[in-house]
């Protein structure tokens, strides 16, 4: 029997930081501790991390969070991590490679070769993961071609989630959600895809067993001592940060899309069975709940660049207030917002950004607003594809950019849907805790877990003005044409 003041610890292990969030069942405890670690770029296209730095950050964040609560009230730990990482470990569970993150694009040639034939699209539709350099399957193909000895002699190939679980439990397992982001899952069987195994050259015994996202393992004595919690505490395997982000914002039903914008951005929608659309992913939350959608690389990082470039000396909030004085549509100025290699729905690692339709009358504030509108339209291309699966009646949004009224108004106008901005700042950590509540028997289902743990998070409904609606509806037809023309021009220039 659980007490009202019992606590679930939700871990959110991301690309640049580990966050440990404590949630009490009565809503009175809600705190987060975090530790940062570097994302390294030793060569063009390489984006790696030191596995031990991540492990240290996770344990330190947990220790900090636990020190602020009554540790005897913690009933379990549940884990969310970034997806698409790849790491090799030896038989002593020590790293033999760096962690190749989702952002690592060294395997672009392998991705291109697969996509030139039917193999790439077939693997996408079998696994739910686009055949792209981010995919662990494609990364393994790079090792196959460039370092076959490392591929063959490495004891196990695992992901970021699996590495975190190694450090928390001392066991090598994976779970369905992060496996669905590997490019190597057969979604129908829920097991590793034999074609993918043969293609990469790995052996089946080099891959961990796939468990349910609600399965648990005991917290190891070594980790427990470091953190200040009892050994044997249940560690819920958890899921990937994307599906758990939907859970954390309450976008749990078909027809409700979850939108998150941090450095990058994503639009996702829950579906009851795997559904793959060209240009989008489909990842598992549980065996019965899947999340379809797409992630863009150019999200909040575009806002940071806009501020630095067109409003030097200002902070982002001030830059956004300046841009609010510009009418919707930015007087015809359009930004192609590809400052870094883009993912959904283009999956183009070489595309470049641009401003088009520039006129003498355009001021720096026009460029600020056009940049925000460009990001919103790139996310809208994902929403448009999601409508092939199910109608979208509501968008539930989270992310620091939504502190700005400009971002709220632009996204609501471009999406032309009711936009509910949620105050669930813990994001995927909250999603992990909700999934943990189901796994630990605290609640019977995900919706009840959300209702229990979301606490007093505020929700704001954004109403689209008729002027903005009219302008953006017209741009819905114009912007795709601009992107298509620019894409052809960019390909010719490359």
- Listed residues 215, 241, 267: the one ending a domain: 241
Task: Evaluate if residue 175 carries a pLDDT over 70.
Answer: yes
pLDDT tens by residue, 308-340: 999 999 999 999 999 999 999 999 999 999 998
Mean predicted confidence (pLDDT) in 2-31: 92
3-state helix/strand/coil string of 311-356: CCCCCHHHHHHHHCCCCCCHHHCEEECCCCCECCCCCECCCCCEEE
Domain extent at residue 159 = 7-241
Question: Are both 149 and 283 inside the same structural domain?
Answer: no
Task: Evaluate if residue 347 carries a pLDDT over 90.
Answer: no
Question: Are both 236 and 280 inside the same structural domain?
Answer: no
CA dist., res. 201 & res. 112, Å (int): 18
Question: Are both 139 and 270 inside the same structural domain?
Answer: no
* The pLDDT value given to residue 482: 78
Residue 453 located in a structural domain: no
Residue 12 located in a structural domain: yes
- Listed residues 241, 261, 293: the one ending a domain: 241
Q: How, if at all, do strands 394-398 and 256-261 pair?
A: parallel
Residue 246 located in a structural domain: no
Residue 266 located in a structural domain: yes
Task: Evaluate if residue 458 carries a pLDDT over 80.
Answer: no
CB atoms within 10 A of CB 16: 14
Question: Are both 237 and 258 inside the same structural domain?
Answer: no
Residue 193 located in a structural domain: yes
Percent of the chain with pLDDT over 90: 81
CA dist., res. 226 & res. 249, Å (int): 32
Give the contacts of 305 (CB within 8 A, at least 6 positions apart).
339, 371
Question: Are both 335 and 380 inside the same structural domain?
Answer: yes
Q: Which two tokens stand for residue 126?
A: 């079998």
- Listed residues 196, 218, 241: the one ending a domain: 241
* The pLDDT value given to residue 232: 98
Count of domains forming the chain: 2
Question: Are both 208 and 264 inside the same structural domain?
Answer: no
pLDDT band at 494 (very low <50, low <70, confident <90, very high): very low
Rg (CA), the chain: 22
pLDDT tens by residue, 372-396: 999 999 999 999 999 999 999 999 9
Task: Evaluate if residue 483 carries a pLDDT over 80.
Answer: no
Question: Are both 188 and 255 inside the same structural domain?
Answer: no
Contact 375, 337 (CB under 8 A): yes
pLDDT tens by residue, 209-229: 999 999 999 999 999 999 999
Task: Evaluate if residue 491 carries a pLDDT over 60.
Answer: no
pLDDT tens by residue, 45-88: 899 999 999 999 999 999 999 999 999 999 999 999 999 999 99
CA dist., res. 356 & res. 367, Å (int): 10
Handedness of CA 342, 346, 349, 354 (dihedral sign): negative
Question: Are both 224 and 271 inside the same structural domain?
Answer: no
Question: Are both 263 and 227 inside the same structural domain?
Answer: no
| Overall residue count recorded for the chain in this entry | 494
* The pLDDT value given to residue 59: 98
Mean pLDDT of the chain: 93
Residue 436 located in a structural domain: no
Mean predicted confidence (pLDDT) in 384-413: 93
* The pLDDT value given to residue 492: 44
Q: What CATH number did the domain enclosing 481 receive?
A: 3.30.420.40
* The pLDDT value given to residue 103: 87
pLDDT tens by residue, 241-291: 999 999 999 999 889 999 999 888 999 999 989 989 998 999 999 999 999
Residue 442 located in a structural domain: no
CB atoms within 10 A of CB 252: 21
3-state helix/strand/coil string of the chain: CCCCCCEEEEEEECCCEEEEEEEECCCCCEEEEEEECCCECCCCCCCEECHHHHHHHHHHHHHHHHHCCCHHHEEEEEEEECCCCEEEECCCCCECCCEECCCCCCCHHHHHHHHCCCHHHHHHHHHCCCCCCCCHHHHHHHHHHHCHHHHHHCCEEECHHHHHHHHHHCCCCEEHHHHCCCCCEECCCCEECHHHHHHHCCCHHHCCCEECCCCEEECCHHHHHHHCCCCCCEEEEEEEHHHHHHHHHCCCCCCEEEEEECCCEEEEEEECCCCCCCCCEEEEEECCEEEEEEEECCCHHHHHHHHHHHCCCCCHHHHHHHHCCCCCCHHHCEEECCCCCECCCCCECCCCCEEECCCCCCCHHHHHHHHHHHHHHHHHHHHHHHCCCCCCCEEEEECHHHHCHHHHHHHHHHHCCCEEEECCCCCHHHHHHHHHHHHCCCCCCHHHHHHHHCCCCCEEEECCCHHHHHHHHHHHHHHHHHHHHHHHHHHHHC
Task: Evaluate if residue 486 carries a pLDDT over 80.
Answer: no
Question: Are both 323 and 472 inside the same structural domain?
Answer: yes
Residue 433 located in a structural domain: no
* The pLDDT value given to residue 1: 67
* The pLDDT value given to residue 490: 47
Question: Are both 25 and 157 inside the same structural domain?
Answer: yes
* The pLDDT value given to residue 487: 58
| pTM of the full structure | 0.91
Question: Are both 191 and 293 inside the same structural domain?
Answer: no
Task: Evaluate if residue 493 carries a pLDDT over 50.
Answer: no
């Amino acid at each position: 029997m659980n007490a009202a003041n019992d606590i679930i610890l939700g871990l959110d292990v991301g690309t640049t930081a580990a966050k440990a969030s404590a949630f009490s069942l009565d809503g009175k405890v809600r705190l987060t501790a975090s530790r940062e670690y570097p994302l390294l770029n030793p060569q063009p296209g390489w984006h790696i991390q030191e596995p031990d730095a991540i492990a240290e950050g996770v344990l330190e964040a947990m220790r900090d969070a636990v020190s602020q609560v009554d540790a005897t009230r913690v009933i379990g730990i549940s884990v969310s991590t970034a997806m698409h990482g790849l790491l090799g470990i030896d038989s002593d569970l020590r790293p033999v490679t760096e962690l190749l993150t989702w952002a690592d694009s060294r395997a672009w040639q392998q991705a291109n070769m697969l996509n030139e034939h039917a193999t790439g699209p077939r693997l996408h539709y079998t696994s739910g993961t686009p055949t792209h350099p981010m995919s662990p399957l494609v990364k393994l193909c790079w090792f196959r071609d460039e370092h076959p000895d490392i591929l063959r002699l490495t004891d196990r190939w695992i992901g970021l989630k699996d590495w975190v679980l190694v450090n928390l439990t001392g066991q090598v397992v994976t779970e369905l959600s992060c496996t669905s982001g590997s490019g190597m899952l057969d979604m129908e069987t829920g097991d590793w895809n034999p074609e993918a195994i043969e293609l990469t050259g790995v052996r089946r015994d080099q891959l961990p067993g796939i468990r349910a996202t609600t399965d648990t393992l005991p917290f190891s004595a070594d980790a427990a001592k470091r953190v200040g919690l009892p050994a044997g505490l249940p560690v819920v395997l958890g899921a990937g940060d994307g599906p758990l982000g939907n859970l954390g914002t309450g976008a749990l039903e078909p027809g409700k899309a979850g939108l998150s914008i941090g450095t990058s951005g994503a639009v996702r929608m829950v579906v009851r069975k795997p559904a793959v659309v060209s240009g989008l992913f489909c990842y598992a939350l549980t065996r019965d709940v899947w999340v379809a959608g797409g992630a863009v690389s150019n999200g909040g990082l575009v806002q940071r660049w806009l501020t630095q470039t067109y409003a030097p000396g200002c902070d982002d909030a001030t830059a956004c207030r300046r841009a609010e004085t510009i009418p919707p549509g930015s007087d015809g100025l359009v930004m192609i917002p590809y400052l870094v290699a883009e993912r959904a729905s283009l999956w183009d690692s070489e595309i470049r950004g641009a401003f088009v339709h520039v006129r003498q009358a355009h001021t720096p504030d026009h460029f600020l607003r056009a940049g925000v509108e460009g990001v919103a339209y790139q996310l809208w291309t994902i929403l448009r594809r999601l409508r092939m699966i199910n109608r979208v009646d509501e968008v539930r949004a989270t992310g620091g950019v939504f502190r700005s009224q400009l971002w709220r108004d632009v996204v609501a106008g471009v999406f032309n849907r009711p936009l509910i901005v949620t105050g669930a700042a813990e994001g995927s950590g909250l999603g992990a805790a909700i999934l943990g509540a189901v796994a630990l028997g605290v609640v019977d289902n995900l919706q009840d877990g959300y209702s229990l743990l979301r606490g007093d998070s505020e929700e704001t409904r954004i109403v689209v003005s008729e002027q903005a609606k009219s302008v953006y509806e017209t741009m819905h037809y114009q912007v795709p044409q601009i992107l298509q023309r620019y894409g052809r021009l960019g390909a010719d220039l490359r």
